Structure 1
Amino acid sequence: MPADRPTMPPVRLHPEAELARDALSAPLLARAARLARWAGTGVPVGVGGELVDKSLIAATEHLDLAGDEEGPAYTAEAWQLAVDTGLVEITEDEDGAAVDDAAAADLPDDAAVGTATPGEELALLTSGSPQDVLDIWLGGMETVLADAVAPDLSDIAEQLADGGELDLDALDWNPEEEAELLDGILGNLYLLSALNEVPGQDVPLPALAASMIVPDDMDEPTDEILEEVSAAMMRLDDQFRVLEPIGLVAYRPVDEALIEELDEDGDTVRAAEPLADEDVARYGMVRLTPLGVWAVRARMLDAGVDAPAVGDLADQNADTLLAALPDYPEVLAQAESEQWLAARTPLDAARDLLAAARGDDEYGPLRRLAAQQTLSLVAPEAEPALREVLDDRYLGGLARVWLAERGLPDIPEPSQDMVFWLTVDTIAAQLGDTDDAAAAELRELVQGLTEQHSGFFDEVWRVDHPATAEVLEVMGQLHPDKKAAKEARKAAFKARSRQAD
């Protein structure tokens, strides 16, 4: 295919209005919005904009989380998101303006140095456009992503105890590596979302971790690699627990009964339960939500990655459409074609597709196959366009197929040359597909062609098609009958000799 083919496979995005509703219903943003409205008359905050003790208690009660052991933590997290996304704005008190970082360390925990009130962004959640909502959510998601790759707070607290200093090396934490690993994991989930024909399929956490660690050429992972995978799983489990409340992923956490519990000396306090093969889901299952697919794509586009979405080609010409479709999974190729056709009349669409399908270049067969598949979706009103090309060497064969499939009358019989040319062109379009199922299908096609046409190899080598010799060579490799395979190789030699003359 052309060198500029998409870096990522296309994805099917949900409508923006639906994604905006998903964003508003994400637990973390929903709580942040509730707290921003609650702050209507002003809420005392500390140096970093955090809720002071009394305010945190009141906020936790406002969110109906007072009975939850983790309620204050959930509330603080939601409040921080409100601050980071502009749902609330902080005004420093007159006394608070003079507090610098050094002085802040000496303030009591419940010292208020500012006041929080609803910010301008809050109104956009209810009166703004879907894109406004998504922009606010996306900013919040970036904050959550940063939290997900942050080091364990308990480790930091231990270092800072008794006047200690923060030592990143001792934490065994590299922010760039952590962010890169999570980006890679999200990229893999995005790929799986694009390639899965059945939407919403969960991915086992062990498989996801292994995809980032186990080398592609390693048949059996070593014990060291397996330990790395296990450690990565536990890190991902923590990260996905952080990411799920913002609506980026749907996550079923690792069953804690499967995790060995150790004491301070490293001795086993509670052994992990044994796991049966059919219980692999207990090690965690994850997938990107529709909102997550949209978000990861947005980040890829910002990073300069070509990440197409179904519908991107609706306003492009037929040449662009046919160049892109061969890289699309079948289901998404059809969806893209349907949107492209919806913007045109059947007759105009058919004429544009047929014109773009011509050519003797190496990608011509793929374009014609894509054109044939797209034309199969075109309404019968396109019939005149197909009849106009019945005598065309490139298009006459596929035009006859289109007319015959619709049971239309007065279809002229094709010449033998046209039949053979179409045969070569059809096989040439499938040569680059390395999928096992596609290879088996091509093998059946090769066998069927030779059985239907006696003396097939005696004639086909004369076909004036750039791929004739290559097609015959592949037929010789695929044909299950040794005699026929030998005839195909001989025909390929004759075709190469003819082309060299």
Structure 2
Amino acid sequence: MSAEPHPTLPPVRLPSDAELARDALVAPLFARAVRLARWAGPHTRVDTGGELAAAQLSEAAAALGFDAADEDGPALASQAWRVAVDTGLVDVADPDGAGDGEDGDEDYGTAVPGEDLALVTGGAPGEVLGLWLAALDTVLADAAVPDLDDLVDALDAGGEIDFDRLDWNPGREADFLDGVLANLYLLTVSGHGASDGPIPLPVLAASMVIPEDMGEPTDAVLEQVSDAMMRLDDQFRQLEPIGLVEFRPVDEALMAEADDEESAAAGSAPGPDSGPAAGEADDEDVSRYGLVRLTPLGLYGIRARMLEAGVTAPAVGALADKGADALLDAVSGYPEGAAHAEIEQWLAGRELPDAVAELLAAARGSDEGGPLRRLRCQQALAPAGPEAEQAVRAVLDDPELGGLARVWLSERGAADVPAPDGAMVFWLTVDTIAAQLAADGETAELPLLMRSLTEHHAGFFDQVWRVDHPATAYVLEAMGRMHPDKKAAKEARKAAFKARSRQG
């Protein structure tokens, strides 16, 4: 996969391999390929390259249950056969040129069920998914090829494809489709996909065409978005049968309306390049421009291709067998929901007292990532019950974890919780704000927290700049920018200067 998606992808939540394998086996195109592999035998004739002989396409279509009157049957059979050959479900032997041709037929090769066909019923889930990934590669390659009409139009006098006339570069088209799928993956795992509904096709097309720093798109750019949208409409129609996406195509009536309106009065009514992009269409209108969603199997497939290309694309649960240090370092960069899910799975396979002690030990550190590790550790401990208390009490005197431990014990009404001294209170304040800044940036809620902290501590800024925390100056500078009280913000900036001077 040659696309370059977002460098730090959020983790994806995937079903088990067994569930994904079941999804793969019922994907229409893959299921057809399996049926044709079982149908293949001594009667099967193939051309050079393994394609079914033209005369046998109708037989293959019948084997798939298509009626003779179904015009799409042979084409669907040909596609399924190609998948069967490419995945190893079928083994083919090309023509050897030794036929006598007495019946007037050209020489044909043979085809028989391949060894990998046995994996469909007898293989492990991972082996079934490996077959499906091979099928996906074939379908993606086909989806990047122009339609037949365009290819015929681009033939030169010698019967060769004139690529300049076609304006088609195979590598470029493959990269474009990879980029589209990477963007769709990112939108999905960022919370804008499966959980919030499908992605409108114009939005996906715009993500590939309109630069992030562009203001109002020009008419030329909008036309490019429209062209990309129609390309994607054709490509997603091809990708849906392999189980990669759920897709609602562009309403053909809408396209006819747009053509009629353009002929009658250019620009008098919204076309595919102006309707949803204008932000005024209702949900029904947007759906007419096409909607797409990656299936769980699709998420698995695109993630597998990203991993193969060297992209870091984590999955929830992948850290279950790692140490607490690896867990906290990783989830520090996750969205909060994904971090909770990962921590839950990590805790599920461990004895809680030992796991809590390991988490607390991993949360220590004066490095830049320390505050956020402690925040994730605190979130991990939130659901823990009384069995965690001993491990938490063990760090009450720790300068970095003592405040966290006191908060946890107090929230549970524990007895004999020592009151923190002033130094610990201010250190915990700096650590908390630093963690919030690292987790979510300068959010609208953070100024309210800053106001609450400063109002509850007299002389807050006279004392906090002395806190021996590596993020003290950084936190005070943020308070100088964000504190809702102008006087307090000015005091924060002065305190930040003192902290910087103290730190040298």
Give the alignment's TM-score, normalised by structure 2.
Answer: 0.89
Which residue identity lines up with residue 447 of structure 1 in the other structure?
R
Contact residue 257 and residue 273 of structure 1 kept, 8 A: no
Asked if 1:172 corresponds to 2:167, the answer is: yes
Structure 2 counterparts to residues 107-186 of structure 1, below 5 A: 111=106, 113-160=108-155, 163-186=158-181
Contact residue 476 and residue 485 of structure 1 kept, 8 A: yes
Give the match for residue 73 of structure 1. Answer: 75
2: distance between equivalents of 1:434 and 1:18?
A: 34
Structure 2 counterparts to residues 454-469 of structure 1, below 5 A: 454-469=458-473
Give the match for residue 246 of structure 1. Answer: 242
Asked if 1:397 corresponds to 2:398, the answer is: no
Asked if 1:236 corresponds to 2:265, the answer is: no
Asked if 1:309 corresponds to 2:315, the answer is: yes
Contact residue 258 and residue 270 of structure 2 kept, 8 A: no
2: distance between equivalents of 1:358 and 1:333?
A: 18
Secondary structure of 2:246's aligned partner: strand
1: distance between equivalents of 2:402 and 2:488?
A: 29
1: distance between equivalents of 2:170 and 2:256?
A: 27
Contact residue 19 and residue 134 of structure 1 kept, 8 A: yes
Give the match for residue 3 of structure 2. Answer: none
Q: Which moved more, 1:471-480 or 1:213-222?
A: 471-480
Contact residue 197 and residue 331 of structure 1 kept, 8 A: no
Task: Please point out which of 348, 355, 365 is paired with 1:349.
Answer: 355
Displacement after TM superposition at 1:216 (Å)? 0.7
1: distance between equivalents of 2:489 and 2:95?
A: 87
Give the match for residue 42 of structure 1. Answer: 43
Secondary structure of 2:292's aligned partner: strand
Secondary structure of 2:165's aligned partner: coil
Contact residue 257 and residue 272 of structure 1 kept, 8 A: no
Q: Which moved more, 1:216-225 or 1:347-356?
A: 347-356
Which residue identity lines up with residue 288 of structure 2 in the other structure?
R
Give the match for residue 59 of structure 1. Answer: 60
Asked if 1:202 corresponds to 2:194, the answer is: no
Give the match for residue 7 of structure 1. Answer: 8
Say what the alpha-carbon RMSD is for the aligned residues.
2.7
Displacement after TM superposition at 1:90 (Å)? 2.0
Contact residue 209 and residue 221 of structure 2 kept, 8 A: yes
Contact residue 260 and residue 272 of structure 1 kept, 8 A: no
Which residue identity lines up with residue 358 of structure 1 in the other structure?
R
2: distance between equivalents of 1:246 and 1:43?
A: 24
2: distance between equivalents of 1:96 and 1:140?
A: 32
Secondary structure of 1:116's aligned partner: strand
Contact residue 6 and residue 308 of structure 1 kept, 8 A: no
Shift in alpha-carbon separation, 1:36–1:235, aligned structure 2, 3 A:
same
Give the match for residue 475 of structure 1. Answer: 479
Encode CA deviations 1:355-397: one digit per residue, 9 max, x unaligned.
1222222221112112111122334212111111111110110
Give the alignment's TM-score, normalised by structure 1.
Answer: 0.90
2: distance between equivalents of 1:195 and 1:82?
A: 35
Shift in alpha-carbon separation, 1:77–1:112, aligned structure 2, 3 A:
farther
Encode CA deviations 1:286-316: one digit per residue, 9 max, x unaligned.
1211111111111111111121111121122
Which runs of 5 or more residues in structure 1 are unaligned?
100-106
Give the match for residue 331 of structure 1. Answer: 337
Secondary structure of 2:444's aligned partner: helix
Q: Which moved more, 1:128-137 or 1:151-160?
A: 151-160
Shift in alpha-carbon separation, 1:260–1:197, aligned structure 2, 3 A:
closer
Secondary structure of 2:31's aligned partner: helix
Displacement after TM superposition at 1:53 (Å)? 3.8
Contact residue 96 and residue 113 of structure 1 kept, 8 A: no
